[in-house]
Structure 1
Amino acid sequence: MIGTALVGFGWWGQHIARRLKDHPEFDLRCVVEPMVSAHGDIAALGLTPVSSYDDAISDQIVKAVILTSPNDLHDIQIAQAVDAGKHVFCEKPLSLSATNARKSVESCRASGLVLGIGHERRFEPAILALRKLLDDGALGTIMHTEMAFSHDKLIGLTVDSWRTSKAFAPAAGMTQMGIHLTDLLIAFYGPVASLHAFTADRSLGWETGDVVTVQLQFKAGMTATLQAILHTPHFIRTHVFGSEMWVEIRNATHPDTPGGKSTMERYRSIEDTETEVFDWTDSVTANLEAFGAAIRGEAEYPYSDFELLHNIKVLNAIMQSAETGEAVHL
């Protein structure tokens, strides 16, 4: 088992804690949470709360840290973990700065440490099936892709939460949901050439906004659009248009919600359509298991340095475009 420290016990930290507390591959040694008021909830899960990150990374049994802390803390916490010789799994975004993301990636590589990232959607069965179709060229020339990831899970946050702030969660839903979509698009199509982003505050009154939409063009030539809305019922959709076929995926539930199914439709003509239904799988845990396998040397972690870094470069471009109202050429 891999001695592990979980850092942060907010919404997503609680989800990770429940997934890993009895996992046979991870020994969850402690949960770092500076808010002492949350320690009782941590202990109720049978886990050990600690207030100090330094205490966690000084534990010699701890070999890896999982960061579910506020976005602005990722850079320094990764650096501290590397200095202590710990592998790092960082919840998205890796960083709010492309420059700092590069420092994190390079320091982990130089130290021989695995750097994982919380982009679990790559492990969804329907997405894996779509990736195979793309790799096989089944869709023909890729023309355009539409992606959406929206929900209302966070509408109960108070306006002083870090998730509502431009400084900590810029460009509305980009660091919450949209960055999962850019991760997939980069994995599918490679580098982005240019983009134009728009944000709005329609109902929540958050400084960062509650709607983001982005138009993208890739260096390979295809285009894409994405949307992430923070105040609407659950909606996750992926639609890829090729010259020979289009494929649409609809997800019935959020990755953290068991039971929902994903439906893939493949359409060549009215006489030639196929529908396939995929059961929900725990993609969050699958990603963490891939991180663990890489630590044990059993497999490469399936995210390239380019993908990790380019996604943050794209995030920075979206932040810039949303602020200036102008397109950004990468």
Structure 2
Amino acid sequence: MNAGPVRVGCIGIGWWSDVLADAIQRSGKLDIIGCYTRSEAKRQNFADKYGCRPAASYEAMLANPEIEAIINTTPNDVHLATTAAAATAGKHVFLDKPIANSVSDGRAITEACRKAGVVLALGYQRRRESHFRRIKQQIDDGLFGRLVNAEANISRDRLGKFDLTSWRYQAAGMPGGVMLQIGIHYIDVLEYLIGPIIAVRGQSAQLVLPGDNPDVASLILEHANGALSTLNASYASASEYYLMNIYGKDATAYYDLHNGLRLLRRGESKPVAITCAGNDTLVEELEEFAAAIRGQGRLEVDGDYATRSLATVRAGIVSAREGRRVEVAEILDGDRS
């Protein structure tokens, strides 16, 4: 078994690749030794910034025996090709969410890594935020009693920051728009806290931003335990905002970006502030990936889970288009577009 930091190569050089590379440098459990993107200037700039070697091609980077794993931030529609190539070369893969644009690709990615015996980890860092960890612990301890309802909001201001040439803002590259790009994070948190999601009702709109993709979307989620949750996602709001309220028979947790976490127990009249220390969610998920490569611990989010998470978003897309309740199982069984 190898010792020391996991040696990685980065593919898909963009703004998020730098975010993950910065987290790698904060960690020390991984070491960037190579990078590749089609633009020679971009890969040279990345190499200069992070002290690694630019590769002339993706194939050349995969052929480098020093590289143990790939940090993959390529566009969604090439996740299968880039990840399968890495798996075939015996490289572990950390893949940014969503796993793909289709359930069939998500399954193929998962199977390629399983067949090759390599670790596949997905980037779902929001669930790791300390306030959500605290709520989850309290739920597991029985403080909330039966969970009945939740409401969530994840909003960002993209007006004036919108690049219509980017795959991230086109229907072909990011089907479902804002719900697939950022709403999926809070779909994950709601499932993490309340339990599996079995059906979705959705509606979306394009109100402020140009292009061909929704900038506002709302979902009603049915959980397997009977609880209902709602999720609103927006790229058309005036500012960045996050909210997550969890309602149980015996207690309610209120979290928002500006006021932090508060808890209100049954019979009390005012919520009590709960102090949660900040944590580095990106470092945590990358170090979990590194540990799994070294045969230590288990992954919190793997390919199977990420494919189901994608299916929930796609159920919302079908629901918004057809005006009906859509079961997640229908998407998993039929991979409807």
Q: TM-score, normalised by structure 2?
A: 0.89
- One-letter amino acid of the structure 1 residue matched with residue 45 of structure 2: D
Flag structure 1 segments of 5+ consecutive residues without an equivalent: 253-261
Residue 304 to residue 187, structure 1, CA distance change in 2 (3 Å)? farther
Match of 2:13 among 9, 14, 18: 9
Mapped to 2, the partners of 1:41 and 1:154 lie a distance apart of 28
Cα deviation 1:274-328 (Å, max 9, x = unaligned): 2113233210111101111111111111225542221121122122223333321
Post-superposition CA distance 1:29-52 (Å, at most 9, x none): 122221223234314413333352
Q: SS of the residue aligned with 2:144? A: coil
Q: Does 1:92 align with 2:97?
A: yes
**Distance of aligned partners of 1:89 and 1:44 in 2 relative to their CA distance in 1, 3 Å threshold:** same
CA separation of 1:57 and 1:105: change in aligned 2, threshold 3 A: same
CA distance in 1, matches of 2:61, 2:173: 24
2:171 maps to 166
Go from structure 1 to structure 2 and tell me whether the alpha carbon gap of 1:82 and 1:198 turns closer, same or farther (over 3 Å shift): same
Q: Secondary structure at the match of 1:280?
A: coil
What are the within-5 Å matches in structure 2 for residues 146-295 of structure 1? 146-152=151-157, 155-232=160-237, 233-252=239-258, 263-268=260-265, 269-271=267-269, 273-295=271-293
Structure 1 position 133 matched with structure 2 position 138: yes
Change in CA separation of 1:296 and 1:72 when aligned onto 2, cut-off 3 Å: same
Give me the CA root mean square deviation: 1.9
Taking the aligned partners of 1:54 and 1:152, their CA distance within structure 2 comes to 38
In the alignment, residue 254 of structure 2 is paired with which amino acid? E
Percent of aligned pairs with the same residue?
Answer: 27
Maintained 8 Å contact 2:289/2:299: yes
Query: Which residue is equivalent to 2:46?
Result: 42
Letter in 1 for 2:17: G
**TM-superposition CA deviations, 1:120-177 (whole Å, max 9, x none):** 1122111111111111221111111111111125852322221111111121212221
- Aligned length, in residue pairs: 321
Amino acid at match of 1:242: G
* 1:64-107 CA distance string (max 9 Å, x none): 11111111111111111111111111100011111221222223
> Aligned with 1:14: secondary structure?
helix
Determine whether 1:74 maps to 2:69. no
Aligned to 2:214, the other structure's residue is in SS state: coil
Structure 1 distance, partners of 2:56, 2:169, is: 24
> 1:249 is matched by which residue type in structure 2?
Y
1 CA distance for matches of 2:81 and 2:206?
31
Rounded to whole Å, the distance in 2 between the matches of 1:220 and 1:59 is 48
Answer yes or no: is the 8 Å Cα contact 1:30–1:49 preserved in 2: yes
